[in-house]
Chain A
Amino acid sequence: MLQLSDYSGISPKSDLQLISRLADKLSSKQFLHINSTKEGGGVAEILGRMTPLLSKLGIVVRWEVIQGDQRFFTITKKIHNSLQGLPEEFTDDMWKYHEAINEKNAKTLDLNADVVFIHDPQPVPLIKFRDKGLWIWRCHIDVANPVEEVWNRISAYAGKYDAAIFSVSKFAKQMPLDEFIITPTIDPLSEKNNDLTADEINEVASRFKIPLDKPIILQVSRFDRFKDPKGVIRAYRMVKKYNDCRLVLAGSSATDDPEGEAVIREVTEFAGSDPDIHILLLPAFRDKDINALQRMATVVLQKSLKEGFGLTVTEAMWKGKPVIGGNVGGIPTQIIDGVTGFLVNSEEGSAFRIRRILNNPDMASKMGENARQYVRNHFLITRQIRDYLFVWYAMLNKSKRVMEL
């Protein structure tokens, strides 16, 4: 089981020092997290890592999961989609059911703790059943342009919390409570991000039949039109006129997403018979393969037209790669144009930046170094743990803008 000292020499020392100091202040206090799943997705991943780590530091941490049936999760999926801007049909009965299932969970869960973090909208109505402690709503999803009616329903609950946490500034809303901004993070010790040997990388390349004979342009993402895979192919073709290279498009097959399959068909057809384009359909949880693909790439693209935060950008930057990202969502939070990567607004811009990187290895290497350092300072899991404790401590010292420890 991992402990804080395993991150020594990887995460900034100041983050580890502050986690220890805050844990001392909050020692023996109860920290309760509630979300809707123990497995899959970034929220479960961070809670899985954070819970034992904080326990070892003396905080009494519990992680509970709300139980629901298929109807409940169909409703919460629709809520999730609508908060991200996709209109869905709702009836009053559905909202009543959402709250009723939360009420049922409130009767079986022990909600008593010094601080309670409720993650995402599925368990947000639990606030109605609070007894004591600080209650903080942690919203992980992109709520920049939600369907208004759905946001109004959710914010009626969210407004009752003591504080809320959003992932980037543009997701914050006008509500009568403190709102903190905490970006998502990656775990440098997970299979997706830990160091790999040259043999391990070569094994993945040969398994996917990718010769390492020329520079590789890579985009890792779901096959989704918002990730603009055809735009990536067009940019690659513009580059190919000047620089010989390969293009690797890797993503999960998304069997539960009918549109995903249509996109894969379109992309495969559009790629035609070019032997230098590799379209890889990866089963879920092939983290080591993704890690190896990112490490073998010369330049990584995330040419999204719409994006939440874009953790694939963070992952590639952590591997010291120059990343070219669409100027959307959370990507500009990570890429400082020309310093930690390039921001682009068009296929032509992507092609031009790829050519610059392929023809300037020194600049590319400096950019990759900057990128890794930037991720180290801002987007590692230890920073997120630090920030959760920071919010808790700040809420206990609300009158102070500057706190001395």
Chain B
Amino acid sequence: MKPFIFKQCTNILKSAQRRAGTIKELLHGIKEVSDASIFHHTYKYFLKEHILEYTNDFSQWVGESLEEHTLAEHLSSVDPYDFTAVSALREEIVRVIDDYLAHFPEPRPAMKGNEFYFNESATIVFPTGIIAHNVAEFLQALKYVDSSSIYYHFYEGRIHGMHGPDDFSLWLKEDLNEKELSEKLVHIDPFMYDIEGMRRLIVQIVEQKVQKDMETL
């Protein structure tokens, strides 16, 4: 049995040196920026501590700064974990915007100062120094690890495993043979919680399991 080694990650923002003030400029930007930039504005969105109205930077900007809520809703429903390559995710976002522009009038430009700034990020991954060998230790660690560790394993973990489940579910299933508990984590909606909310939810689910085990003969 392999123990679970909690890692954490830190990002630094890099400018992609490009901005958009209108939906068409956003569209051109999305078509041309690096994969790292698309990755940053979609997958990395979940690193935000507070859940916002929409679920990626593009939809948030379209909703807040262009006040085009229908398009923001459409963009929000694009699930980055449905795609195994950033290029396919990029194509889908472009398709959603193209489709919107074919059916609706073009939204007004953003107010000056509220333009969209394309960024990328560089990441350093390093161990937290916390290791769990069983569910009880896992529970204790979940309560106190840095929030970036929850992000790294629960969100980015889905990409490490070739778009399989998150690192927590995978370890519980493969190494501890805790299939039922693993399934419960797999079925959490990743879009509906901020990181701390997600931590609370996972802790609650794992705690129920530990309590049940303690009471079983």
Contacts and interface: CB of A to CB of B under 8 A. Distances in A.
Interface string B1-40: 0000000101011110111000000000000000010000
Contacts of A205: none
10 contacts: A12-B146, A169-B13, A174-B18, A180-B15, A181-B12, A181-B119, A328-B113, A387-B12, A401-B36, A405-B124
A339 B14 contact: no
B17 A170 contact: no
Interface of B: 8, 10, 12-15, 17-19, 36, 49-50, 52, 113, 115, 117, 119-120, 122-126, 128-129, 146-149
Given A14-B148, A172-B117, A377-B49, A402 B15 contact: no
Contact of B126 (A170, A179, A336, A404): A404
A140 interface: no
Given A387-B12, A390-B124, A403-B124, A169 B119 contact: yes
A180 B10 contact: no
B60 to A, nearest CB: 11
Q: Which has the most chain A C-beta neighbours within 10 Å: B36, B126, B149?
A: B126
A14 B49 contact: no
A402 B125 contact: yes
A401 B123 contact: yes
A302 to B, nearest CB: 16
A178 interface: yes
Interface in A318-375: 328, 336, 339-340, 370, 373-374
Contacts, number: 89
Contacts of B146: 12-14
8 nearest CB pairs, A to B: A172-B15, A169-B117, A181-B13, A14-B146, A405-B126, A179-B15, A402-B123, A339-B50
A94 interface: no
A394 B12 contact: yes
Nearest to B119: A169
Contacts of A340: 50
Interface of A: 12-15, 17-18, 21-22, 144, 166, 169-170, 172-175, 178-182, 328, 336, 339-340, 370, 373-374, 377, 386-387, 390-391, 393-394, 400-405
Nearest to A337: B64
A179 B14 contact: yes
A393 B122 CA distance: 11
Given A173-B17, A178-B14, A403 B117 contact: no
A400 B120 CA distance: 13
B124 A180 contact: no
Nearest to A390: B12
A22 B36 CA distance: 23
A386 B125 CA distance: 14
A386 B10 contact: yes
Contacts of A393: 124
Given A12-B146, A336-B52, A370-B50, A394 B122 contact: yes
Contacts of B119: 169, 181
Nearest to A403: B124
Contacts of A328: 113
B12 A14 contact: no
Contacts of B117: 169-170, 172
B122 A403 contact: yes
Contacts of A172: 15, 17, 117
Given A180-B13, A181-B13, A170 B113 contact: yes
Contacts of B124: 18, 22, 390, 393, 402-405
A374 B48 CA distance: 10
Given A14-B8, A14-B128, A175 B17 contact: yes
Contacts of B148: 14
A336 B50 contact: yes
Contacts of A12: 146
A181 B49 contact: no
Q: Which has the most chain B C-beta neighbours within 10 Å: A339, A393, A401?
A: A401
Q: Which has the most chain A C-beta neighbours within 10 Å: B10, B125, B146?
A: B10
A174 B17 contact: yes
Contact of B10 (A14, A144, A174): A14
B14 A405 contact: no
A166 to B, nearest CB: 7
